[in-house]
Structure 1
Amino acid sequence: MLDFGYPRQTDILILPVPPPPENAHRKQDTREKCPAFTKLNIQSALVGTSLHVKLFLYTRRNTTCPEVINSTVLGELDVTKKTTFIVHGYRPTGSAPVWLGDIVKSLLAVDDMNVIVVDWNRGATTVVYHHASSRTKKVAQILTKFIDHLLAEGASLDDIYIIGVSLGAHIAGFVGKMFDGELGRITGLDPAGPLFNGKPPKDRLDSGDAQFVDIIHSDIDALGYKEPLGNIDFYPNGGLDQPGCPKSVFGGMQSYFKCDHQRAVFLYLASLTEKCNLTTYPCRSYRDYRNGLCINCGAEQKDPCPLMGYYADRWKIYLGRKDTPTTVFFDTASKKPYCLYHYFVDIISWNKDIRRGFITIKLKNRAGITTESKIDHQAIAFQKYQEVNLLARFDQDLDEVATISLTFTTGRLLGAKQMLRILRMKLRSVDHPNRAPMCRYDFILIENKETTIQPLPCRTLQM
Structure 2
Amino acid sequence: MLDPDETCPSFTRLSFHSAVVGTGLNVKLMLYTRKNRTCAQVINSTVFGNLNMTKKTTFIVHGFRPTGSPPVWMEDLVQGLLDVEDMNVVIVDWNRGATTVIYNHASSKTRKVANVLKEFIDQMLVKGASLDNIYIIGVSLGAHIAGFVGKMYNGQLGRITGLDPAGPLFNGRPPEDRLDPGDAQFVDVIHSDIDALGYREPLGNIDFYPNGGLDQPGCPKTILGGLKYFKCDHQRSVYLYLSSLRENCSITAYPCDSYRDYRNGKCVNCGIPQKESCPLLGYYADHWKEYLKQKNPPMTKAFFDTAEEKPYCIYHYFVDIITWNKNIRRGSITIKLKDKAGNITESKINHEPAIFQKYHQVSLLARFNQDLDKVATISLVFSTGSVIGPKYKLRVLRMKLRSLAHPERPQLCRYDLVLMENIENVFQPILCPKLQM
Measured against aligned partners, the alpha-carbon deviations of 1:337-381 in whole angstroms (never above 9, x if no partner) come to 111111110000111211111110000000000000010100111
1:127 aligns with 2:94: no
1:82 aligns with 2:56: yes
Instruction: Give the Å deviation of 1:64.
Output: 1.3
- 1:253-272 to 2 correspondences below 5 Å: 253-272=226-245
2:282 match:
309
Measure the CA separation in 2 of the matches of 1:94 and 1:281.
Answer: 37
1:68 aligns with 2:42: yes
1:338 match:
312
Measured against aligned partners, the alpha-carbon deviations of 1:162-212 in whole angstroms (never above 9, x if no partner) come to 000000000000000000100000000000000000000000000000000
Which has the greater radius of gyration?
1
The amino acid across from 2:158 in the alignment is G
1:242 aligns with 2:210: no
Q: Of residues 438, 443, 462 in structure 1, which corresponds to 2:417?
A: 443
1:117 aligns with 2:91: yes
Instruction: Give the Å deviation of 1:31.
Output: 5.2
Measure the CA separation in 2 of the matches of 1:461 and 1:383.
Answer: 24
Count of residue pairs the alignment pairs up:
434
Instruction: Give the Å deviation of 1:30.
Output: 4.8
Measure the CA separation in 1 of the matches of 2:126 and 2:220.
Answer: 48
- 1:90-169 to 2 correspondences below 5 Å: 90-169=64-143
Sort the Cα spacing of 1:69 and 1:368 in 2 relative to 1 into closer, same or farther, 3 A: same
Q: Of residues 426, 429, 432 in structure 2, which corresponds to 1:455?
A: 429
Instruction: Give the Å deviation of 1:276.
Output: 2.2
Structure 1: which 5+ residue stretches go unaligned? 1-27
Give the TM-score normalised by the residue count of structure 2: 0.97
Structure 2: which 5+ residue stretches go unaligned? none
Sort the Cα spacing of 1:446 and 1:461 in 2 relative to 1 into closer, same or farther, 3 A: farther
Instruction: Percent identity, please.
Output: 70
Measure the CA separation in 1 of the matches of 2:168 and 2:373.
Answer: 45
Measure the CA separation in 2 of the matches of 1:93 and 1:29.
Answer: 24
1:287 match:
260
Kept in 2: contact 1:300–1:433 (CA 8 A): no
Q: Helix, strand or coil: the match of 2:336?
A: strand
Runs of 4+ aligned structure 1 residues displaced above 3 Å come to 28-32, 459-462
More displaced, 311-320 or 198-207? 311-320
Measure the CA separation in 1 of the matches of 2:65 and 2:341.
Answer: 47
Measure the CA separation in 2 of the matches of 1:168 and 1:409.
Answer: 46
Sort the Cα spacing of 1:323 and 1:86 in 2 relative to 1 into closer, same or farther, 3 A: same
Sort the Cα spacing of 1:31 and 1:417 in 2 relative to 1 into closer, same or farther, 3 A: farther
Measure the CA separation in 1 of the matches of 2:97 and 2:383.
Answer: 54
2:300 match:
326
The amino acid across from 1:337 in the alignment is P
1:401 match:
375
Sort the Cα spacing of 1:152 and 1:273 in 2 relative to 1 into closer, same or farther, 3 A: same
Measure the CA separation in 1 of the matches of 2:381 and 2:44.
Answer: 62
Measure the CA separation in 1 of the matches of 2:354 and 2:81.
Answer: 44
The amino acid across from 2:196 in the alignment is A
The amino acid across from 2:150 in the alignment is G
Measured against aligned partners, the alpha-carbon deviations of 1:40-97 in whole angstroms (never above 9, x if no partner) come to 1111111111101000000001111100011111111111111000000000011000
Instruction: Give the Å deviation of 1:319.
Output: 1.3
The amino acid across from 1:56 in the alignment is M
Sort the Cα spacing of 1:405 and 1:31 in 2 relative to 1 into closer, same or farther, 3 A: farther
Measure the CA separation in 2 of the matches of 1:367 and 1:48.
Answer: 58
1:278 aligns with 2:251: yes
Instruction: Give the Å deviation of 1:274.
Output: 3.9
Instruction: Give the Å deviation of 1:461.
Output: 10
Measure the CA separation in 2 of the matches of 1:410 and 1:111.
Answer: 51
The amino acid across from 1:204 in the alignment is R
Measure the CA separation in 2 of the matches of 1:202 and 1:321.
Answer: 25
Q: Helix, strand or coil: the match of 2:55?
A: coil
Measure the CA separation in 2 of the matches of 1:440 and 1:302.
Answer: 29
Q: Of residues 362, 377, 393 in structure 1, which corresponds to 2:336?
A: 362
Q: Helix, strand or coil: the match of 1:272?
A: coil
Measure the CA separation in 1 of the matches of 2:431 and 2:115.
Answer: 63
Kept in 2: contact 1:342–1:429 (CA 8 A): yes
Sort the Cα spacing of 1:106 and 1:31 in 2 relative to 1 into closer, same or farther, 3 A: farther
Measure the CA separation in 1 of the matches of 2:187 and 2:388.
Answer: 52
The amino acid across from 2:147 in the alignment is G
1:348 aligns with 2:336: no
Measured against aligned partners, the alpha-carbon deviations of 1:303-353 in whole angstroms (never above 9, x if no partner) come to 100001000011001111111301100111111111111111000011121
Instruction: Give the Å deviation of 1:157.
Output: 0.3
Kept in 2: contact 1:44–1:126 (CA 8 A): yes
Measure the CA separation in 2 of the matches of 1:291 and 1:436.
Answer: 23
Q: Helix, strand or coil: the match of 1:63?
A: coil
Instruction: Give the Å deviation of 1:29.
Output: 6.0
Q: Helix, strand or coil: the match of 2:40?
A: strand
- 1:180-195 to 2 correspondences below 5 Å: 180-195=154-169
1:429 aligns with 2:403: yes
Instruction: Give the Å deviation of 1:416.
Output: 1.9
Instruction: Give the Å deviation of 1:459.
Output: 3.6
Kept in 2: contact 1:274–1:337 (CA 8 A): no
Measure the CA separation in 2 of the matches of 1:154 and 1:296.
Answer: 44
1:41 aligns with 2:18: no
Give the TM-score normalised by the residue count of structure 1: 0.92
Measure the CA separation in 2 of the matches of 1:274 and 1:358.
Answer: 35
The amino acid across from 2:366 in the alignment is A
Instruction: Give the Å deviation of 1:301.
Output: 3.6
Measure the CA separation in 2 of the matches of 1:31 and 1:309.
Answer: 37
Measure the CA separation in 2 of the matches of 1:460 and 1:385.
Answer: 20
Sort the Cα spacing of 1:81 and 1:457 in 2 relative to 1 into closer, same or farther, 3 A: same
The amino acid across from 1:380 in the alignment is A
Instruction: Give the Å deviation of 1:299.
Output: 4.0
